[in-house]
Chain A
Amino acid sequence: MDTILTGNAAIAMAAHDARVALGVGYPGTPSTEVLENLTTLESSKAQWAPNEKVAMEVGIGVSYGGGRAIVTMKHVGLNVAADPLFTVSYTGVSGGLVVLVADDPGMHSSQNEQDSRHYARAAKVPMLEPSDSQEAYDFTRIAFELSEKFDTPVMLRTTTRLSHGKSTVKASTVTTGSPETKKIDNPMKYVMVPANAKRRHIFVEERTAKLQEYFESSELNKVEYRDKSTGIITSGISYQYVRDAVPDASVLKLGSVWPLPIKTILEFAANIENLYIIEELDPFIEEQLKAAGIKCIGKERFPICGEFTPTIVAVGMGVANPVESQRSSLPTRPPSMCPGCPHRGVFKTLKRLKLTVSGDIGCYTLGVMPPLMALDSCVCMGASIGVAHGMEKAGVDPSTIVAVIGDSTFLHSGMTGLLDMVYNGSKGTLIILDNGTTAMTGRQDHPGTGKALSGESAPHVDLLSLVKSLGVIDVVVIDPYDIPSIEKSLNHALKYDGPSVIITNRPCMLIPHEKYPKVQVIPDKCKYCGACLSIGCPSISKVAVDVDGKTRIRPQMDQLLCTGCQVCKQMCKFDAIEQVSGDTDTII
């Protein structure tokens, strides 16, 4: 029977049915669930890498060794993996190599809105783009076949709505036969020194021409003639919006978005009176069509910024009027750090000491939200350390700057930044917020957690030893629930004449952890100062109370949400917060 699956689950099932030797990647919304699903299908066939570049290199090695590999990442992860991608394009593959990249139009959980289609063109690698979960399954299967047939890595591009959208999937026959393990023995193909790479570049250009010819007649690209006065060229999830918004229009639906089947497009365009290009993010298809002399309407009607919806497509096509939101004045409901989050006390202290905080990618980026508002920059994975060091080199007093990074992000790409601080004589301070998981993407394991993606135990790197071995002398491990110790260690580190590292040691509240007694306000002792509210804990709400005829705002701890971290208790100068006896539980 067919099943209802997310795009990510469909890709995992296809990779499994294509008999991959390995799925490898680094967590990143919206791509994370591909490997999580793959490991439930066959636990030994998926693993997390410390970052996307390593994942890509492992995938390349699997392919060179004769196995099939799928490498998964979000759009910004592809920037990290770009170096090996551009050269594996030259070497080609042995076993099929599929690179899944998940873009995030609308930035539901990302720091930029880059369009990864440019990478396909720049790296000269074919790219397929499915429009629902069935195609996510089918195109993944096809991608492996194309990879082996044309001796190329193949990129599969999804977007958030495709990755997380759910629709029915019918699986096809599982690939039979075992792939042959090969001993790599072809330096002309696999050793990219200039003499060999020059020949491979010619191969790549010829391969692109062959792929383009192949896509002209491929079923990946579908022409649907209806009313020929209006024709639309589109791909991915936008195709579905087009079908709802203008059901009578003719459509050329591109399943291969690079290289473009230009003859197919020319023929379609010749049959159409008014041609529209409907693509999320950049005018990637539109610009190539215009370069080929095809008259079409694109970004003047459909936005570059943000995610499409059926309504945006309908408005762009002129079949609906723009809808002004009547509700934009309503209070927003942004995400916040969880009750008991071990990062909260650290950010409260950084804010109170008025330090410049160089931030990074993870849950702790939420430190920018009110009321903490303790983050001054955030660029990309691992950037906090280099950026802090750079500010120091610009002449900013290093005793006023702190870099903060999570454990998973530090292992991803923070280690080299710290090495640079040591090497170049920084006096800066780094806090590694070690919560024992990759929290933001849904609590994935990493080399520091002692567990593999399969759930089996794995060797775990000791951050303290690692930091010391990078050459940091001044390093300390502290309890982030102990506010005085945060301040004390910071005061020491900021004055220390060399690089300093502070590692915090409490786990994410969403992973199994020790339970603590919850807290509550003692009404008689509360002076309504609001200090406990200043930490931004979701379990503390305000209650209006009548005190001697005056309305005062008193905090109150939700006993379902409180985890007993005691950070609010340490904010109170009046001893008005006490531990509540009785059993405790967590918010999960």
Chain B
Amino acid sequence: MNTTNILICGVGGQGIVLAGDIIGMAARLSGLEAKASEIHGMSQRGGSVVSEVRYGSQVNSPLIPLPGADFVLAFELLEGLRGIDRLRPGGLAIVNRQIIIPSSVTYGTAQYPENVEADIISSASGAIIIDALDMANKVGNPRAVNSVMMGVLAEKSTLPINCWEEAIKKLVKPKFIDINLAAFNCGREICK
């Protein structure tokens, strides 16, 4: 079955749910079936957030089955490491080099792990690690991190670019469309 599986992971407030919606919409606009699943509820309170998106000619489960995700899109380093084992062999990890300290580190005994990037690369050779937050700031809004990440994904996956752009226009609030399209193009440029 020709299904593309994308796991998006990060921290509540990073725009993960919207990113999942845009990917699903881009797939739908290109004529494919899409399913997605994420857990609401705790996302606004700084917890880990995982969204799974699948598209293809026919999709069964909204959750990604074995052998795993074709793409892991990680918005934060620790969350990227937490999710990296769900990448299938030969899959591609796209990781934002951003650190958000969890409360368990600030108040508990836990420590933010060292060498996270190296650990990610050792589990996912060829991982693309980028400074999406810097790029989003350059286009004018730190909240456009998700569009930078999707720009990279768009270049590495097969959905037509116009479907991505159309999906962003449909799902992003009108006043933020231009900034998000600029961030999306920033992400695409990295891959060229």
Contacts and interface: CB of A to CB of B under 8 A. Distances in A.
B104 A333 contact: yes
Interface in B38-73: 38-42, 44-48, 59-66
Contact of B33 (A108, A168, A366, A441): A168
A166 B37 CA distance: 6
Contacts of B39: 108-109, 160, 164
Interface string A135-177: 0000000000000000000000000110011111000000000
Contacts, number: 148
A538 B103 contact: yes
Given A4-B34, A166-B36, A240-B60, A332 B110 contact: yes
A311 B65 contact: yes
Contacts of A325: 85
A584 interface: no
Interface string B83-109: 011000000000000000111111110
B81 interface: yes
B47 A335 contact: yes
Given A241-B65, A336-B46, A370 B103 contact: yes
A257 B65 CA distance: 25
B169 interface: no
A205 B67 CA distance: 48
A129 B151 CA distance: 38
A333 B46 contact: yes
A166 B24 contact: yes
Interface residues of B, number: 48
B25 interface: yes
A310 interface: yes
Given A166-B24, A337-B45, A331 B61 contact: no
Contacts of A334: 47, 102-104
B129 to A, nearest CB: 18
Nearest to B67: A320
A165 B36 contact: yes
A167 B12 CA distance: 23
Contact of B60 (A4, A244, A323): A244
B103 A536 contact: yes
Interface string A476-511: 000000000000000000000000000000000010
A132 B62 CA distance: 9
A310 B67 CA distance: 10
Contacts of B112: 331
Nearest to B110: A331
A133 to B, nearest CB: 9
A240 B103 contact: no
Nearest to A330: B82
Contacts of B82: 327, 330
A111 interface: no
Best-buried of A4, A109, A241, A510 by chain B (most CB within 10 Å): A4
22 contacts: A4-B25, A30-B41, A109-B40, A132-B35, A164-B37, A165-B35, A165-B36, A166-B37, A167-B59, A241-B60, A241-B61, A310-B61, A310-B64, A327-B85, A331-B108, A334-B47, A335-B47, A337-B45, A338-B44, A533-B107, A538-B46, A541-B106
